[in-house]
Chain A
Amino acid sequence: MLVPAAVLVLVILGAIAVDFSVAFLGQRELTSAAAAAANDASTAIAEERFYRSGAGDAGDVVIDGGRAARVVDQALAARAPRGVTIDGVSVDPSGGQVCVVLRGRVDYVFAKAVPGMADGAVVQGRSTATAVTGAAGSPVEPRPAC
């Protein structure tokens, strides 16, 4: 009885390890995708406000919400995150900062074969990027939450 029980425990532990690893990788993938998308979206500044102060002077650095959303879509399409299905994208610009929140779903490999167990996990990635001016950038207080 010892060996069958040990093998059964081994198989179950292995299945749990694989499923949790898949969820962990999906969460990491989503976080990286959010960071890349936010970084790209921070270049989508409202140009008319930036250039309005005339030649030589930089105007306000304000993220254009519409452009930022388009840039985020392009970034996600180019990156094509694997192993996670993105079902929610939130782009929240505020001044020179933009916050990108991605929500997605990761399907388990083994747990779905067990009745009553969840067949997947919901994961979320969030990142904030700030557009700064000057060669070294200017210090900007990060937003506490988005």
Chain B
Amino acid sequence: MRAVGPRRDEAGQVGGVEGAIFGVLVFVFGTLVVVNAWAVVDAKLAAGSAAREATRSYVEARSASEAGTSAQRAAEEAIRGHGRQVERLGLRSVDGRFARCARVTLEATYRVPLLAVPVLGRRGAGFTVAARHSEVVDPYRSGLAGEASCGA
């Protein structure tokens, strides 16, 4: 007479397969979320570039009336150059005015979606990265009134 062992069903097997499938899914999408963090770093670099170009355009403009427009245009070009959306860009003057020796500080901000993952799309209201740049209007430049005495 042959002994018959206990019968094994497939309950454990199915549970393991589910775990592996969902585990891989979690791993893949989790990796995408981590990679998405680089978008924040990239946005920070883009904002820094925009602030720098805007400030340089501002201090090198030919007149005060042209300075603001020139700065805005330079910031938008810098953001476009990084492949970003101009609509998300903000530019404001923190300090300074268009005058010989004046220190001008501009701040560029860029709104980043909280999460942008393929299939899931863009999620969350996002947050804002900011970068600031400061430069002095050349004391010895032409086209401006006043004396170059800022370093005295």
Contacts and interface: CB of A to CB of B under 8 A. Distances in A.
A62 B8 CA distance: 90
Interface in B19-69: 19-20, 22-24, 26-27, 30-31, 34, 37-38, 41, 44-45, 48, 52
A83 to B, nearest CB: 9
A43 B136 contact: yes
Contacts, number: 79
A132 to B, nearest CB: 11
A3 B19 contact: yes
B95 A78 contact: yes
A80 interface: yes
Contact of B103 (A7, A28, A45, A74): A74
Given A21-B41, A25-B41, A32 B48 contact: yes
Interface residues of B, number: 30
Given A10-B27, A21-B37, A74-B103, A2 B133 contact: no
Given A3-B19, A32-B48, A67 B37 contact: no
Nearest to B35: A17
A98 to B, nearest CB: 13
A106 to B, nearest CB: 13
B134 interface: yes
Contacts of B38: 17, 21
Interface string A6-44: 110010011001100100110011001000100110011
A40 B136 contact: yes
A75 interface: yes
19 contacts: A2-B19, A3-B22, A7-B23, A10-B30, A21-B38, A21-B41, A28-B45, A28-B48, A29-B48, A36-B134, A36-B135, A39-B135, A47-B151, A67-B151, A71-B136, A75-B136, A78-B95, A78-B103, A78-B134
